[in-house]
Amino acid sequence: MSAFQIVHKRRANIWTWSIIAALVAACAPIASFAAENAMERQQRLEDRFMAPCCWVQTVRHHDSEISRQMRAEIKDLIEKGRSDEQITEFFVQKYGERILASPPILGRGALAYWLPIGSLLAGVIGLGVVIRKWQKKRLTANASPPPTTPTRSSQD
């Protein structure tokens, strides 16, 4: 092998390894971004469910055996490629709708959203009616009676 062939082969190896290194460096942020998104997704799902031992905190923040098991199940279901809706449905079937940290917007769960709005609206309407009655009462009380002229008796 001549010196020219050796130098040429080394240059080809250097270029090949440089291209491979550049591709690996370009793909590294994508892989870390995907891993970070998986972690954020897992935390978002953990915030959707209440800890079934006491129903006070979400699974993400509660430190109990059942919460740890649920966190592991969520991670496992994510790794199996299940969608957020499938994971939510899995836990709802297992524990009932009470497991959800926020009630569904449809059905009985809608009551949790519409009841405060309806109560506020009824309060505003009721307050308006009461204020109108007060105003009418005040206006009638402040209205002066019509002036009366003294009547003279015919005996004067």
92 and 23, same structural domain? yes
86 and 10, same structural domain? yes
Task: Flag whether 155 is in a domain.
Answer: no
90 and 17, same structural domain? yes
67 and 115, same structural domain? no
State residue 12's pLDDT score. 58
Residue 79 has, within 13 A of its CA and on its CB side, a CA count of 6
48 and 117, same structural domain? no
Task: Flag whether 146 is in a domain.
Answer: no
Name every residue whose Cβ is closer than 8 Å to that of residue 65 and which is 6 or more positions away in sequence.
Answer: 53
| CATH number of the domain enclosing 97 | 1.10.8.640
> How many domains are contained in the chain?
2
Q: Which domain holds residue 61?
A: 3-102
119 and 52, same structural domain? no
Q: What is the pLDDT of residues 26-57, one digit of tens each?
A: 665 555 545 558 889 999 999 999 999 888 88
pLDDT score of 93 more than 70: yes
Task: Flag whether 140 is in a domain.
Answer: no
Task: Flag whether 73 is in a domain.
Answer: yes
Q: Are 45 and 89 in contact (CB under 8 A)?
A: no
Q: Tell me, yes or no, if the pTM score tops 0.75.
A: no
pLDDT score of 123 more than 70: yes
15 and 81, same structural domain? yes
